[in-house]
Every structure is written in structure tokens, then in C-alpha cells.
Amino acid sequence: MAAAAIRARLDYLVTSMFTTGMLDENFQQLRSMEENGTAALGYVTEMINLFIKDTKRILNDIAGLLNQPVVDYDIVDVLVRQLKGCSYSVGAKKVNLSCMQFRRFYEPRSKERI
């Protein structure tokens, strides 16, 4: 009974994240792979944990670069592209969109240096 309640709560939260645009169809594909047996049990959890770990590292690296007196926007761009790729792979739609918006912010600054 407790497992069914936890599963129902998880399904509700995931549905809510789809409704608000936090997740996209890539996340659903991950879940489908696990549910239909083409991926091992725990695959989604492993992917999300890797995403969180990588995202934390990338954001810390970006913050460190942005705190420098002279910002190397080429390195920032590489990191933002990595974050965008990570978010795409797990269906984190809002993170992906935020990466695109952030690039619009720093691209003009990068071109000013040339």
C-alpha cells in the first residue's frame, strides 16, 4: 500500500512538472525506456542524479568565471552548452530554455571583446 501511494505521488509530481513546462518529452522517453524494459530499473534515477551532479559543477564553474575581473566568455559558452546538453538529455525543459536566454545575455559581451 505504501509503495502504491508513493508511486501515485510521484506520478502526480511528474504530471505537474509537465503541465508547468519544467519537463518535456525527453523525460517521458527516459521513463518509458525503464518501464518497457529497454533500460535497467533505476536508470531514470541514475540519469537524474548525474544531471544534478553535473549541473552543480557547471553552475559553480560559471559563477567562478563570472566573478573574475575579466570574464572569458568563450569558456562560459562552453559550459552553458554543456549545461544545455545535460538538461536536454533528461528533459529539463526550463533549464534548457534558461541556457538559451543566458546565451543571449553574454553573446554581445563576448563579441565586444573582438
CATH of the domain at 31: 1.20.120.160
Q: Please give the Cα distance from 22 to 38 (Å, whole number).
A: 25
Q: Please give the Cα distance from 59 to 55 (Å, whole number).
A: 6
The answer for residues whose C-beta is within 8 angstroms of residue 49's C-beta and 6 or more apart is none
| Orientation of helix 73-90 relative to helix 93-112, angle to 10° | 170
Residue 114, pLDDT score: 44
Query: What is residue 23's DSSP assignment?
Result: B
Overall number of domains in the chain: 1
Please give the residue range of the domain that contains residue 94: 2-112
Please write the tens of the pLDDT for every residue from 35-67: 999 999 899 999 999 999 999 999 999 999 999
User: What pTM does this model have?
Assistant: 0.84
* Closest by CA position to 110, among listed 88, 64, 63, 78: 78
What is the pLDDT averaged over residues 59-86? Answer: 96
